[in-house]
């Protein structure tokens, strides 16, 4: 892929899986306006690339992301302090749940504030069991952001969500797994490898169009109170897929005990 030379993130693509690394390790990968724009640009570019089937985001060094890069002038949350505007819209403007490409978070160390609310918008999260996590907004005189007020209760239930959001307390990755905020808690050294393994399982074994529509419909139905309508949409999409070449290939490859050769793109699907 022809990507720019980013200043604060790294991007590597191999066998359909992109690994995006937040690369300010000395600052525990705290997000500057530049990093936010570069991350938004990279995710948008990777989404548009048909060959990229899954995206993993992780952090360089011992941390995942310490949240917004704070300063003592109170200007942290008031726009582009470093003046790096040209690369495009920031990650905060993206609707990642409407992307066709799954995004996986390999939370390899501390994740605080936006370092936790952004992964909450993504699809699969693995965490270091001893990583310190916090929705620390109320302890900074702010409120939780990045759609976390809507989403967190749907992930872990209202009582636990309000406890974490109102107290802003620190909790560990092991607790995050126990309450369902993440899929799995592992030793820190294993988090990235395990997350990349899941990404490759998606890229190598699952049909791109099927993955895209499953993701989009999951989030659409998460917000829908209409169970019958959701079932009708599901039946319509299932019927469409049943008549497509990937469905025939999925069955044939299973019977022939070989890896499937999908012909449909992640962007080639209904419900877009």
Q: What is the model's pTM?
A: 0.92
Nearest to 185 by CA among 102, 104, 107, 103: 107
Quote the pLDDT of residue 268: 84
State whether residue 51 is helix, strand or coil. coil
Quote the pLDDT of residue 215: 96
Quote the pLDDT of residue 74: 41
To which H or E segment does residue 57 belong? strand 54-59
Quote the pLDDT of residue 9: 98
Q: What is the pLDDT of residues 99-135, one digit of tens each?
A: 999 999 999 999 999 999 999 999 999 999 999 999 9
Q: Whole-number mean pLDDT of the chain?
A: 92
Quote the pLDDT of residue 73: 36
Q: What is the pLDDT of residues 140-170, one digit of tens each?
A: 999 999 999 999 999 999 999 999 999 999 9
Token pair 């022939």 is found at 256
CATH match of 9-204 with 3.90.226.10: yes
Quote the pLDDT of residue 91: 87
CA–CA distance, 197 with 204 (Å, rounded to integer): 10
Alpha-carbon distances, residue 247 vs 91, 179, 216, 262 (angstroms)? 34, 36, 19, 9
Strand boundaries in 162-244, DSSP class E: 170-172, 184-186
pLDDT 10s digit of each residue in the chain, 272 long? 789 999 999 999 999 999 999 999 999 999 999 999 999 999 999 999 999 999 999 999 999 999 999 864 344 445 444 444 456 667 888 999 999 999 999 999 999 999 999 999 999 999 999 999 999 999 999 999 999 999 999 999 999 999 999 999 999 999 999 999 999 999 999 999 999 999 999 999 999 999 999 999 999 999 999 999 999 999 999 999 999 999 999 999 999 999 999 999 999 876 55
Q: Where are the domains of the chain?
A: 9-204, 207-255
Quote the pLDDT of residue 1: 77
């Amino acid at each position: 892929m022809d990507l720019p030379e980013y200043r604060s993130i790294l991007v590597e693509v191999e066998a359909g899986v992109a690994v995006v690394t937040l690369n300010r390790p000395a600052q525990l990968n705290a997000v500057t306006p530049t990093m936010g724009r570069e991350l938004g640009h990279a995710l948008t570019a990777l989404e548009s690339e048909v060959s990229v089937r899954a995206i993993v985001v992780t952090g360089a060094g011992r941390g995942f992301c310490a949240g917004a890069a704070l300063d003592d002038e109170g200007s942290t949350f008031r726009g582009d302090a470093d003046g790096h505007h040209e690369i495009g819209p920031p990650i905060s403007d993206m609707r990642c749940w409407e992307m066709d490409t799954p995004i996986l978070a390999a939370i390899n160390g501390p994740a605080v504030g936006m370092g936790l609310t952004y992964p909450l918008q993504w699809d699969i999260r693995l965490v270091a069991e001893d990583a310190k996590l916090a929705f620390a907004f109320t302890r900074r005189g702010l409120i939780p952001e990045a759609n976390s007020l809507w989403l967190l209760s749907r992930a872990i239930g209202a009582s636990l969500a309000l406890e974490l959001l109102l107290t802003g307390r620190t909790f560990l990755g092991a607790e995050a797994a126990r309450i369902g905020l993440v899929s799995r808690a592992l030793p820190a050294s294993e988090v990235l490898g395990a997350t990349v393994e899941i990404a490759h399982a998606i890229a190598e074994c699952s049909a791109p169009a099927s993955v895209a529509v499953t993701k989009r419909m999951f989030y659409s139905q998460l917000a829908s109170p209409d169970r019958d309508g959701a079932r009708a949409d599901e039946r319509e999409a299932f019927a469409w897929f049943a008549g497509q070449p990937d469905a025939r290939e999925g069955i044939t490859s299973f019977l022939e005990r070989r890896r499937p050769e999908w012909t449909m793109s992640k962007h080639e699907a209904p419900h877009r």
